[in-house]
Each structure stands twice: as C-alpha cells, then as structure tokens.
Amino acid sequence: MQILARQINVLDYALSSLWRRRMKNLSVLLVFTAVIFLVASFQMTTGALTRTAERVLENAPQITLQRMSAGRQVDIPPEYAARLSSIYGISRIVPRVWGYYFDEVTGANLTVMGLATDRMPMGDQLHLALASGSFPGPGSRGSVVLGRAVNDMVQARGSHLLSLFRNDLSMASFEISGVFADATDILTRDLVVMNIDDARDLFRIRGDRATDLCVYVTNPNEINTIARKIADLLPDTRVVTRPQILKTYRVVFGWRSGFGSICLLTALTAFIILAWDKASGLSQEEKREIAILKVLGWQTADILAVRFWESLLVSGISFLVGVTLAFIHVAFFDAALFRPIMVGWSVIFPPFHLVPEMTAQVVLLIFCLSVLPYLAATVIPAWHTASVPADSALSGA
Amino acid sequence: MLIELESVTKIYNQGRPNEVRALDAIDLRIGAETMVCLRGASGSGKSTLLSIIGCIFPPTSGRAAIAGRKLSRLPDRFLTLHRRRTIGFIFQRFNLLPELTVLDNITLPLLPLGVGPADRRARARELMERFGIIHRENFRAAQVSGGELQRVAIARALINDPPIILADEPTAHLDSRLSHVFMDLMAELRAAGKTIVITSHDPLVTEHPAIERIIDIRDGRIHAA
C-alpha cells in the first residue's frame, strides 16, 4: 500500500511539474501530436486503401483474359472460350464487356461493365457490394447499377434514368436498379454495370463477342499455373490474375506509404533526438530542484519516476490525440492531406471514400514508433542527470 | 551520543590530479538536545562536515555514526532512507521551489514516504500555524516575504519530525532582525528537544546565547571544540 501511495505522490508531483513548465510542455505536446498524427494518418490511409482494394477485388474474376492485336485490345471471339475448356482446372469461363464512355455534358469518363451475372460464380452475392437496390436479374435488360459518383450525376439532372449515346448517336436509356456502397468507392465510383447484351448494344459489339473473358478455377492455389497454361495456349492474349492486381495495388500504396513514412519517421527521429538532447542537459533551475529533492530524502529512483510519468503523460496524450485526429482525418476527410500522394492523380482519378482500418497491429506499430522511443529518449538520459549530487544544494550551490 | 565522528576524512577526486582533502581526521561527538555552531571561513570544510552529518555522503575514511547508524557501511540508497527519518535541512537562501505553493514546499519530504494528501496537509497546517504562516498556505513561495520564507524552510525541515536539524549558513542572506528571529526559533526547537547544528561565521549566530558550543574548523581540521 505504501508503494502505491508513494507512486501516487510521485505522479502528483509529476503533474504539478508539468503544469509549472506548461508552456514548454505544451509546445512539446503540440509538435509530438503533429508528428504522430502524420505518421498515423499515413499508416491508416495505406491500410484503408489496401483493405478497400482487397474488399472490392473479392468479387473480381480469378483470371481475366484480353485479346491483343498490334498492341491494342480487340474483341474476343467465342471460339477462344471453347479452346480454354481443354485446360484442366478451369471451372467456368464467363464473357464480359468492359469499356469507357465519355459523357460530354459533365466531361466525365465512365467505366461501363457488361456482365452475365447468371453465369458468374457467386453472381447471386453481388448485391452485397451495393448500398441500395439490386443487380439486374438474369436476362433482364434496360437497367443498371451505378457507382456513387455516377448516381449523384444522374440525380443532379433530376432524372431517374441514365441515358447514354450509342456509336450512331442513338440514345439508350437505363433504369437505375442499384447503387454501390461507399466501401467499394475505390473501384466503383465511376462505374456503370449493366447486362452484357445491353453493353454489346451500347458499344456495338457483335452478339457473340466480348472484350474480356473471366476465368474461374476450381482450386485457387492453381491460379498462376492455369494463367501460364492460358498464355501458352493463346499467345495473342494478355492474362491478368487477381493476385497480380492486388499485388499491384499493394506495391503502389506500399511504395508511396513507405516513401511518406520514411520522411515522417525522419521527422520523428529528429524530434526524439531533440528530446534526448534536452533530457541530457539540465538547466541550472532543474539541477537545483533535483539537488533539493535529494537532500530532502528523494531517491534517484523517485526522480526518475517523476521524469517517467512526465514523459508518459506527454507522449501518451500526444499518442491518443494524434491517433484520434488521424482517424478523423482518414474517416471524415478522406485523408485529404495525403490523398494526392497516396492515390496519385494518374492512377485513380475519380474521388472515392476511404473506410479507415484501425487494427490493433497499426495502433501498436505507431505506439512502438512514437511513445516507446520518446520514453527511452527522455528517461535514459535522466538516469545520468538524476545523479546530481545532493550536496550541491548546500552552501548556495 | 547522537552524532559521533572518529578520524573522519573526506577526500574529493581521490587519486586524481585535482584531489582535495576537505576534512582531515575529524573527531567530533555531539549529544542529543544540544545546539552547536560549526564556524569557519569559506572553503574550511564546514559544509562537507555538515554533509557527512546530514547523511548525504559517507566519509572517505574514519567512522561516522548518526543516530546510531554507521554511515560508512550504508549504500547511497540507505543513506537517503536514514536521512529522511533523521535529518531536517535548512539551506542557505532556504532553497524553496519558487513555483510551488508554501504548502507544497513544506510537504515535499513527505512525498517519497507515501504520506497521503490529507495527512500531509494536516501535518503542514499544524506547523504553519505554529510559525504564523497559515495565511500563506496557497501562496507560491516566490510571492512571500523573506521572513515568511525562513519560516516555510523551518517548517519543511520539521515536517518529518526529525531528531536532528542542520542549518547551512542560514543567516547569510538575512538582515539582523530576521537573523535574530531565526535564532530565536532555533532556540525554541532546541528547547523542544531537537539537536541543532548550524554552520556559520555570522556573529549574530555564534554569539547567540542559545549556542552551547562552537566548533572552529580551518583547513579541514577542528581547532577548538
């Protein structure tokens, strides 16, 4: 009980000491909070982007096949699908139409995807990616599912129909049957999903052709092997696997996050070196205080405990405030400060909403990168400074 | 004897080119409930002697026993523990922490003992009333007068109720009126059963009637006791 009471007294003294030097401590707190906020924002933004990409790609085909001619993508005739059926391990081949539509009124580029949902595995679960409505039923024509930005655009016109022009300038109108959830924004914000026959009609693609073939395999571990076999069998095609797409996202976000983190960690390191430097050199006033306390019966351990509590309070408050601000920054402001750096204008142009990932791993990582080094940088040198000889308080020293 | 020193020597920086022999074979015995003055010029070794009596550090050689404890056998941690219970210090310029309140300054020695806030306040108030500074309880030390500071310092030295009070040049920065007040307070404490050791070369201290014994120190040696 006495040990506890003593620690409470020491904590009490540490609080009063912090208050006595409030201007100095407040400036340390503000700088430290700002650095933690920046590091945490970077970590959370990376996590949010990667997780969003993973979530969206859960429904993507395991292998996507595109036919190339003269280095450009061309339609795939139906016999390509027939030839693929000879490869063991492929469970399903589904044609897909993927194209871009330039809306002259808004100047926006829309991504149009024509799906044969009845032939897709888990096609009945696609509605899970929607915030409202449903996917067009099998064979159902004339309706679309929209990304949030496209839906906003249609709503702004005061219409319930999406009207698009075919190549011959005739108009095709579609009812809106559903809207994608914001968690999928990274890939769906500018997306228009429709029946594959509607897409063929819109882009004037022959009725038995597609722009892509979506290949599904029985054993997910065999994706790369089967992709290699496809590339060997159909050398004029480009074969893209889902793990490759995911890896690309991770590499892009990881590289950018790593670059940003290195810059910020340099700032954090500089701050901690400064804290170390400050802690190792005491002012005359601080030396005098330590000497007085020691003569009055305080042990070196008591003085170290005061320094520990002071540092823990400063770094703990900075950590909590910094991480909370970072969460707000990512969740409510879509990481506005880092978005251009992390996403890149040329990679994903349309805006999207970030859903922050606040995992224990991320929090622990930030804690280990900020609070622990700060504690070490302030308490370890205090060991030296707390050994100010008690007799220096005598004779006016 | 409450304070017993036998052949006590203190050497700073021993074995180095800047070695200093601050005390040389000091023999000193001070009984309980006495008031003693260590007199000597600056650099004579009186503050070093006070530090050994105050359990701040042990002697380099010789035997020192304070309130029944042999200092040479105590590691630093136990010296501190012994000092907490046995010694009350009054410093030159009083060495209060100016940003702390009078109450907080007085209770500083109680914090490492784990004494709770209510008990600390009660003990401090008793002393503040005794020395007439209760009205300054929540004033910062920087805001009170020299005479009040003096009494705050004495209250802080007494808060643990130690048997020995050590005062290091306490009147060096006081005018004669406050010096008299200080010595009268010391005389009261002596009458109340404390043992008091004061270092000074101020005649107001050395010639005060309450001083029972003057010990002259020169070049680290006792010349008259």
Residue spans per domain, chain B? 34-59+85-224
Domain ranges of chain A: 2-55+248-396, 90-217
How many C-beta neighbours within 10 Å does residue A172 have? 14
Residue of B nearest to A298 (CA): B112
Interface contact flag, B89 A20, Cβ < 8 Å:
no
B84 reaches A (C-beta below 8 A) = yes
Residue type for position B147: G
Q: Higher pLDDT residue, A239 or B75?
A: A239
Interface contact flag, A391 B169, Cβ < 8 Å:
no
Residue pair A161/A155 in contact by the 8 Å Cβ criterion: no
Q: Which residues contact A348 (CB under 8 A, 6 or more apart)?
A: A186
Residue pair B106/B133 in contact by the 8 Å Cβ criterion: no
**Beta strand segments in A200-293, E:** 212-217, 237-241
**CA A112 to chain CA centroid, nearest Å:** 25
Residue type for position A117: T
Percent of chain A with pLDDT over 70: 86
- pLDDT computed for residue A390 by the predictor: 67
Interface contact flag, B97 A292, Cβ < 8 Å:
yes
**What's the pLDDT tens digit per position in A241-292?**
988 888 887 777 666 666 666 767 777 777 777 777 666 666 777 778 888 8
Of A116, A122, A136, A127, the C-alpha closest to A62 is: A122
CATH 3.40.50.300 fits B34-59+85-224, yes or no: yes
Question: What is the pLDDT averaged over residues A32-53?
Answer: 81
Of B141, B145, B172, B171, the C-alpha closest to B156 is: B141
Q: Specify the DSSP element, H or E, that contains A144.
A: strand A143-146
How many C-beta neighbours within 10 Å does residue B184 have? 11
- pLDDT computed for residue A23 by the predictor: 86
The whole-chain average pLDDT of chain A stands at: 82
B20 reaches A (C-beta below 8 A) = no
CA distance A130 to A132: 5
- pLDDT computed for residue A347 by the predictor: 41
Chain A residues with beta carbon closer than 8 angstroms to that of B51: 390-391, 394
Residue of A nearest to B94 (CA): A396
Interface contact flag, A12 B111, Cβ < 8 Å:
yes
Residue pair A223/A62 in contact by the 8 Å Cβ criterion: yes
Q: Which residues contact B209 (CB under 8 A, 6 or more apart)?
A: B187
pLDDT > 50? residue A339 = yes
**ipTM for the predicted complex:** 0.86
Banded pLDDT at A211 (limits 50, 70, 90): very high
- Tokens coding A291: 């000497």
Banded pLDDT at A106 (limits 50, 70, 90): confident
Of B153, B117, B1, the C-alpha closest to A16 is: B117
Q: Higher pLDDT residue, A120 or A113?
A: A113
CA distance A100 to A78: 22
Interface contact flag, A292 B109, Cβ < 8 Å:
no
Of A76, A5, A32, the C-alpha closest to A378 is: A32
